[in-house]
C-alpha cells in the first residue's frame, strides 16, 4: 500500500448531479487534504451532497486511479 485516503465527515455526504457542496483539494508539507466547501447556505435538516466523480480535480489524478 502506497498510502491511504480518509474523508472523515465528508464520507457522510451523498452523491447528486446537482450538489450543494464540493471537495477542494489542498496539498501541503503534511499531505493532501480534502476541504468540503458549500455552494450555498444549507438549512438545518437538509442533506449535504457532492458530485462523487470530480477525480479530475485531484492533483495527481493519473496516479490515483
Q: What angle do CA 13, 45, 36 make, to 5 degrees?
A: 35
pLDDT tens sequence across 6-25? 667 777 888 898 999 998 88
Residue 35, domain member (yes or no) = yes
pTM of the model: 0.64
What percent of the chain shows pLDDT beyond 90?
28
| Percent composition of the chain: helix, strand, coil (DSSP 3-state, to 5) | 20, 30, 55
Residue 52, domain member (yes or no) = yes
Residue 1, domain member (yes or no) = no
Number of domains in the chain: 1
Domain that residue 46 falls in:
8-64
Residue 3, domain member (yes or no) = no
What letter does residue 45 receive in the DSSP assignment?
Answer: T
Residue 2, domain member (yes or no) = no
Nearest 10 degrees: CA dihedral of 37, 27, 2, 4?
Answer: -30
Amino acid at each position: 500500500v502506497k498510502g491511504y485516503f480518509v474523508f472523515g465527515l465528508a464520507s457522510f455526504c451523498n452523491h447528486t448531479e446537482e450538489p450543494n457542496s464540493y471537495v477542494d483539494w489542498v496539498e501541503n508539507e503534511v499531505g493532501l487534504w480534502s476541504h468540503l466547501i458549500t455552494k450555498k447556505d444549507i438549512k438545518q435538516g437538509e442533506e449535504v451532497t457532492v458530485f462523487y466523480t470530480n477525480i479530475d480535480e485531484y492533483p495527481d489524478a493519473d496516479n490515483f486511479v
